[in-house]
Structures are given as structure tokens and as C-alpha cells.
Amino acid sequence: MSEHLAPLHEAIEHLDAAWCGAQDGASLTRKQLIDANDALAAVQRLIDGLHAEVAAGIAHESRPALGPESLAKQQGFRNAARLIATASGGSTADASKLVKVGEATAPRTDLVGARLPSKHPEVRRALSAGRLSASTAAAIIALLDRVCLKITPEQLTEAEVLLTEKAVGMSLDDVRKLLTHAEAWLDPDGVAPREEEIRARRSVSMFERDGALHLNAVFDIESGAPIRAAVNGYVSAQFAARKEAVDPDAGDADHRSVAQLQADALTSICAHSIGCDNNAPALSGATVIVRVDAADLIEGTGYGTVDGADQPISIGAVRRMAASGGVIPCVLGAGSEILDWGRERRFFSRAQRLALAERDGGCAMCGLPPEMTRAHHIEWWKRDAGPTDLSNGILLCETCHHRIHDNGWEIQVDGASTKSRVWFIPPPYVDQSRTPRLGGLARYTLAA
């Protein structure tokens, strides 16, 4: 057996052990399902890494300079991506991604044939060890290539190490959010140009088809923030009303889906704005919060963020939004209200909610935006006599709140500031070692 394939064989052995005694997936126990899922994921990541290496080799042997001696052409394909996609049953786009990952992580040679390390050695190590998928590796490599000429080689190396470490154990969606924050951190001067490019593409189109009005819309973060906040605020208010209903199973109970509630929110807000409805729609929590460092705001450098949005915004956009109604500029580092109230009050103040939103970024567990969360006591107010302090507060959506209490999860906060970290400790049946899992905004912040 090749030593290079040893990790894959080990992962397959783990899969075989997880599957022991079961005829098929339907007959697996709950523990076996989790173990088999973890083993399959590990196998898939290792296969990704090996396939990327092979894809890079095929691409090298199919380079245009070889002409009719190209490996792909000899096999009857136009290029390497077509050959790989046909064999895997995937798309040429996915095959091209494998090629790029393989080429970016493969060892190199200089002009005299001496062996050089790969362009992205940390990504290569994580990929070979099965800690990263090819898609995650491709996303990290794409970001590093975009910023490589804007930062020093030392900063690029540091960024690769940090991003690779942070991305392990993340879904691709969470990795994309991490990289969005990382790009603004690494290249703050690039935020405004990207913002203007997106703003130039903003559009709304409306047309009728099959008896319905269809809307397609694209907004930059600055323009879309009030829309998102208003719609989410309406949805949150409707869910709160549904929860407080006397009989949730009554014939007139509200069973609308989230998508239907969002559509009704837009209708209600527009109807009110043109005077057709004298009663303002319920927009509980519909406030746009823009966050920025005081030094950046004064000097006109850096960037800001909008609660609920992944994409950072430029300082110019921060200043414009801070001058608008319904927008709260949260300048970090400046003086503010008292954020710790001990046992003097039961409910978290508005200032405390803003501070929790800065620390948690929304639901600290699943990432829903702040306007769709509530501030909860970690140590309960009544049962545990828990204080109404930042160190005892956390933002959670209703689903995660129930998940934590019903399924035995625990929460720890390592301080009382907006830069503290939130940790979720799984119950023993989920993880026998009960290894804490990082939550809140720190998951997506390189400097955290």
C-alpha cells in the first residue's frame, strides 16, 4: 500500500467500523449514523485532495504546448476539465476547480529543475490530511490570490495559516462568510471599489407570469440594509404573535411559511407607505445597526459592518448610513451606556442588546441576524438568580434557544466585553469529550 494513500485507507477502516453489523444506511443506529457521516465526510475530503493532485497531473499532461500529444486529446477530449468531468460524472466547472486547487498546492520546480515548496503549503497540508474539502481549499486559494499583490509576503503567509486553521470543521457557507470578513481585513482599500461595482448592478424587475407578479431584485448592502431589517422585523413580530396565540392549532391560526411572511411584509410595508393603511406594520427590532471603529471613522480608513450582512461596507457608506433615520451607528471604543446591570433589572437594555449583537453577530449558534433573536440569560433569572450582565447574556433565535435547553447543551462566555468569546459545550451523547465549539462573531473574524 502506498504511504500516500494510508490516510484514506485509515478513514475507510473507520467507515467500516461505523457500519459494522448494519445491512444498509436505513438500519444504522443513531450513533452509527453520526459515526458513518463523519467517516464518509473524512473519506470525501481525502478523495478531494487526491483527486486534485491527479487533476493537476492530467492538466499538466494536457497542456496546449503538447499539441496532439496532449493526454486529454489522445483520450478524445478537448481539454483536461472535460476528461475529468466525464470520468467523475460532475461538471466541467467542478473539474476546473479541482485542477486549480491541484496546481496551486502541487510542489514546484525552478528553472534548473530544483524542487520548490507549493505555492500554498498550509492549504496543501490541510487538504492532504483530509481537514479541508476541495471547495473550501479553492475558496481560500482564490482569496489569497486576489490579495497577494496588496499585502506583504509575511502577511500572506500569516493569512493562509489563520484561514486554514479557522476553516477546519466549517461548512462551505460559513467559510465564505469567513473569507468575506477576511478580505476586508486584509484589503480594506478594496471594500469601496467592490461596493461601487455591486451598487452599479442594483436593479429591480417586475413582470406578470401565470397569474402572479414576479419580482427580481439586486441591492448593494447599504441600499438593502433597511429592506432586510424591515422585512425581518415584520417576520419576527409575526412569529412572536404566533407564539403568544391562545390556541396555535385553531382554524384561524397563522401557518404561513417564512417565505410567505416575507412576501406579506413587503406588501404591508408598501401599502402603508402609499397611505392605503393607516396602521403602521409591526416592525419589532427593525433597526439597522452599522458598526465601525472610532479611529477608522475619524481617519476615513478601514471599513464597517452592518448587522445581519456578511459583506463589509466602506467608510463612505458608513458615514452616509449614519446620517439616515432608523440607523444606529455603533462606534466601538467610544463611551456608552452602562452595559452591566446585575440584579437591578430583569430584561436586557437596548445598549446591552447592541453590545451582545457586536459580540455574537446575531444568533450565536446558527448565525441568524440580530433582529431575529432575543437576549437570553445563560444562568436563568428566576431559577439560577442569574444577573442581567453581558457575561450572562447571549443572543439566540427561538429554535436554538429550545435546542440548547431541550438537548442538554451548555454555554460559556470567557469575559464581559464585546470581544469576549462564546462557547457551546455539547452534551456527552453528542461528544464524549465535550469539546467546546466556538460560537458568535469570532467564528468569522481573523483577528479574533
CA-nearest of 319, 326, 330 to 290 is 330
Verify that 174 and 30 share a domain, yes or no: yes
In this structure, is residue 378 part of a structural domain? yes
What pLDDT is attached to residue 441? Answer: 86
Are residue 167 and residue 222 in the same domain, yes or no? no
Q: Span 279-285, mean pLDDT?
A: 50
Q: Which three cell numbers stand for residue 18?
A: 461505523
Torsion, CA 271, CA 274, CA 275, CA 281, rounded to 10? 40
Lowest mean pLDDT across 39-53, 249-263, 276-290, 396-410: 276-290
Asked which of 152, 168, 188 is the last residue of a domain, the reply is: 188
From CA 27, how far away is CA 33, in angstroms rounded?
9
Question: Are residue 85 and residue 118 in the same domain, yes or no?
Answer: yes
DSSP string, 307-365: TT-SS-EEHHHHHHHHTSTTEEEEEETS-------TTS-SSPPHHHHHHHHHHHSSSTT
What is the average pLDDT across 273-292? 60
Q: Please check whether residues 202 and 104 belong to one and the same domain.
A: no
Q: Strand, helix or coil at 282?
A: coil
Whether the Cβ atoms of residue 204 and residue 341 lie closer than 8 Å to each other: no
Of the candidates 169, 223, 220, which has an alpha carbon nearest to the alpha carbon of residue 195?
A: 220
Residue 381 and residue 47: Cα distance in Å, rounded? 50
Q: What is the pLDDT of residue 205?
A: 95
Backbone angles phi, psi at 370, to 5 degrees: -55, -35
Q: What is the C-alpha to C-alpha distance for residues 425 and 435, in angstroms, rounded to an integer?
A: 6
- Residue 58, pLDDT > 80, answer yes
Boundary residue ending a domain (292, 312, 335): 335
* Residue at a domain's end among 161, 188, 215: 188
CA distance 214 to 418: 42
Q: Which residues 6+ apart lie within 8 Å of 299 measured at CB?
A: none
Segment 29-42 mean pLDDT: 93
Average pLDDT over residues 236-261: 77
Instruction: Look at residue 262 and tell me whether its pLDDT is greater than 80.
Output: yes
User: Where in the sequence is the domain holding 227, given as residue range(s)?
Assistant: 189-335
How much is the average pLDDT of 354-361?
86
Q: What is the mean pLDDT of the chain?
A: 85
- Shared domain for 136 and 217, answered yes or no, is no
Q: Are residues 312 and 388 in the same domain?
A: no
Q: Which of 102, 16, 15, 110 is nearest to 55 (CA)?
A: 102
Question: Count of CB atoms within 10 A of residue 117's CB?
Answer: 9
Q: Please report where in the chains the cell 403602521 appears, as a residue.
A: 280
Query: 382 and 294: one domain?
Result: no
What are the pLDDT digits (tens) for 106-162?
988 777 777 788 899 999 999 999 999 999 999 999 999 999 999 999 999 999 999
Do 357 and 383 touch, CB atoms closer than 8 A?
A: no
Measured CA to CA, the distance from residue 322 to residue 331 in angstroms comes to: 10
Structural domain contains residue 328: yes
Share of the chain above pLDDT 70, in %: 89
Mean pLDDT of all residues in 56-62? 95
DSSP string, 198-248: HHHT-EEEEEEETTEEEEEEE--HHHHHHHHHHHHHHHHHHHHHHHT-S-T
What is d(CA 318, CA 149) in angstroms, rounded to the nearest whole number?
27
Judge whether 72 lies within some domain. Answer: yes
Same domain, 397 and 432: yes
444, 174 Cβ separation under 8 angstroms: yes
Quote the cell numbers at residue 5: 494513500
The answer to whether residue 313 scores a pLDDT higher than 60 is: yes
The answer to whether residue 416 sits within a structural domain is yes
Report the pLDDT value the prediction gives residue 437, as an integer from 0 to 100. 92
CA dist 290 and 53 (Å) reads 44
Is residue 341 situated within a structural domain?
A: no
Tell me which residue of 384, 441, 444, 372 sits closest to 410, measured CA to CA: 384
List, in order, residues 6 or more apart from 174 with CB less than 8 Å away.
367, 443, 444
Start-to-end C-alpha separation, the chain: 42
The predicted structure's pLDDT at residue 448: 44
Is residue 247, in this structure, part of any structural domain at all? yes
Residue 338: predicted pLDDT? 45
Instruction: Give the DSSP per-residue string, 357-399.
Output: HHHHSSSTTT---GGG-EEEESS-TTTS---SSGGGEEEE-HH
Tell me, what amino acid is at 355?
Answer: A
Question: Which residues, 6 or more positions from 375, have their beta carbon under 8 angstroms from its beta carbon?
Answer: 347, 348, 352, 353, 356, 393, 394, 395
In a shared domain, residues 359 and 280: no
| pLDDT band at residue 336 using 50, 70 and 90 as cut-offs | very low
Q: Please check whether residue 345 lies inside any domain of the structure.
A: no
Q: How many domains does the chain have?
A: 3
Q: What is the mean pLDDT of residues 179-193?
A: 91
171 shares its domain with 196: no
Same domain, 169 and 226: no
Do the domain assignments include residue 342? no
| Mean pLDDT across 392-401 | 88
Please count the other Cβ atoms lying within 10 Å of the Cβ belonging to residue 407.
11
State whether 36 and 153 are in the same domain.
yes
Q: What is the pLDDT of residue 153?
A: 92
Q: What is the CB-side half-sphere exposure of residue 220 using CA atoms within 13 A?
A: 20
